Chain A
Amino acid sequence: MKTAQTIYEEGSHKWLAIVRDATRPGYLIDTNEYLITVGDDAILLDPGGSEIFPAVFSALSTQFDPRRLDKVFASHQDPDIASSLSMWLEFNPSVKCYVSWLWASFVPHFGGQADTFIPIPDSGMDILVGGQRLQAVPAHYLHSSGNFHLYDPKAKILFSGDVGAALLPADETGLFVENFDRHIRHAEGFHRRWMGSDRAKRDWCARVAAMDIDMLCPQHGAIYQGEDVKRFIDWFANLEVGVLKS
């Protein structure tokens, strides 16, 4: 079962990482979900696939009333990102889903109606949660052609979707990256294969290097914090991507 762990807290402003489901069947990729709460308001980032909904819901409900959740952010259109949307709508039919305009007519195949979706333009947009301004940051072609990350300038946390993802062995269950060099080996093959555009990668690295980031939170694997954030950006900038084999 997943657990919800607080990774940032200042007043009523919190980031919860919903991670590590030991009971998850091996044929499902492990995912991280993040809940940002500001007062009574909240947004769930990459709510996950419908198969892991029970684990995410139960972990989230230990910290937040799930019926009050009315915003989700989908970094892109993959099933492990958003196929649980119909389940969240069961609990609150007025949930709004922020997703790239490119996928706004594809993701409804997972559930929802026309007014469920708030399409994000290619240039990104601000999303207000409890008065806190969050920024949808363009990350197109990393890996999806319509892809966004979410930056919280107050918490200095960047949710980076599949960028930074690592497919960790079962015995590596740490929430944060502890040894960058050892960790990054589990990220290399994933980034080479899944990130298809070198130009998009360079644009993203330049954009993100200019941001003030304390934590970089991917959708799979451990969280980068402190110096490891810069290490990751530099490593990624130098990685050859869009190749079938390393």
Chain B
Amino acid sequence: MGSHLMSVANHDAGGELRRIVRINEEIKKVVATAFKINLMAMNAIFLAKRAGQSALGFGVLSNELRRFAMDLQRQMETLRDATYGSVATVTTLVKQSRVDRVLERTRILCKGQGRQSVEQRILTRQSSDDGHLRKVAALNRRLSQLIADTVQLVELGSVLARSAKIEAAYGGGFSSALMQVSSDFEQTISEIQSSLDNLTKHQAREFAA
């Protein structure tokens, strides 16, 4: 009876909480970098304006990169909201899991009427525990989807940065300055991709566990 009833107790609720914290830390890194890209894109727009006719293509791409940075910031806000919401759910899971473990220890110690009372209580808790585990699974699916959407968005940013590098070559006298800016874009977006890789790995590992 015990093993069937202790699904939440056996669930690594503490591990869930640590995972949410890790995701949140990675999100903070990406948010900071997205803000940096936004500023870099604004500078690139001014530079393209100064370069004039020869940097028209670079100017268009800088505008797109700025839009990308703002989209990324919004996406990360959504991801952060989702993880904040998860903290409440997972904290409840941690508490339930603790109560379940104490109840199981009580069940083992008790005999007769006391044991019956504990078993009844454990059964009653089962439906609420199942509901919580389903909620955590749904949160995990949503987080995975949001991370996958972000990876796709950043892939677009990476393409924009590469195109900006190509356009920089046509920048005439501003070419080296534009090249420097577009290389910075590429480097920064690569940092974001590395953070997202970490996020995807954490998520995949926890799901596998």
Hey, which bits of chain A sit against chain B, CB under 8 A? Answer: 1, 50-51, 53-55, 57-58, 60-62, 65-67, 86-87, 90-91
Q: List 25 A-B contacts (CB under 8 A).
A: A1-B109, A50-B98, A53-B102, A53-B106, A54-B105, A54-B108, A54-B109, A57-B106, A57-B109, A58-B109, A60-B114, A61-B117, A62-B114, A65-B113, A66-B114, A66-B117, A67-B117, A87-B99, A87-B102, A87-B103, A90-B99, A90-B103, A90-B121, A90-B125, A91-B121
A17: shortest Cβ distance to chain B, in Å?
Answer: 18
In the complex the two chains form, what is the Cα distance from A62 to B112 in whole Å? 8
In the complex the two chains form, what is the Cα distance from A47 to B138 in whole Å? 38
The dominant DSSP class at the A interface is: helix
CB neighbours (8 Å) of B98 from chain A are: 50
- Residues A57 and B114 in contact, CB atoms below 8 Å apart: yes
In the complex the two chains form, what is the Cα distance from A20 to B155 in whole Å? 65
The dominant DSSP class at the B interface is: helix
Q: Does B204 interact with chain A (Cβ within 8 Å)?
A: no
Q: What is the size category of the interface that chain B forms with chain A?
A: 10 to 19
Q: Does B110 interact with chain A (Cβ within 8 Å)?
A: yes
With most chain A CB atoms within 10 A of its CB, the pick from B99, B112, B115, B125 is B99
In the complex the two chains form, what is the Cα distance from A90 to B112 in whole Å? 19
Q: Enumerate B18-76 residues with CB–CB distance to A below 8 Å.
A: none
CB neighbours (8 Å) of A65 from chain B are: 113, 117
Contact of B110 among A50, A57, A86 (CB under 8 A): A57
In the complex the two chains form, what is the Cα distance from A62 to B115 in whole Å? 10
- Residues B112 and A61 in contact, CB atoms below 8 Å apart: yes
Nearest-neighbor residue (CB-CB) of B104 within chain A: A54
In the complex the two chains form, what is the Cα distance from A148 to B23 in whole Å? 47
Q: Provided the pairs A87-B99, A87-B102, A90-B103 are in contact, do residues A55 and B117 lie with their beta carbons within 8 angstroms?
A: no
In the complex the two chains form, what is the Cα distance from A126 to B114 in whole Å? 30
B156: shortest Cβ distance to chain A, in Å?
Answer: 48
- Residues A58 and B102 in contact, CB atoms below 8 Å apart: no
CB neighbours (8 Å) of A60 from chain B are: 114
B89: shortest Cβ distance to chain A, in Å?
Answer: 19
Nearest-neighbor residue (CB-CB) of B98 within chain A: A50
Nearest-neighbor residue (CB-CB) of B95 within chain A: A86
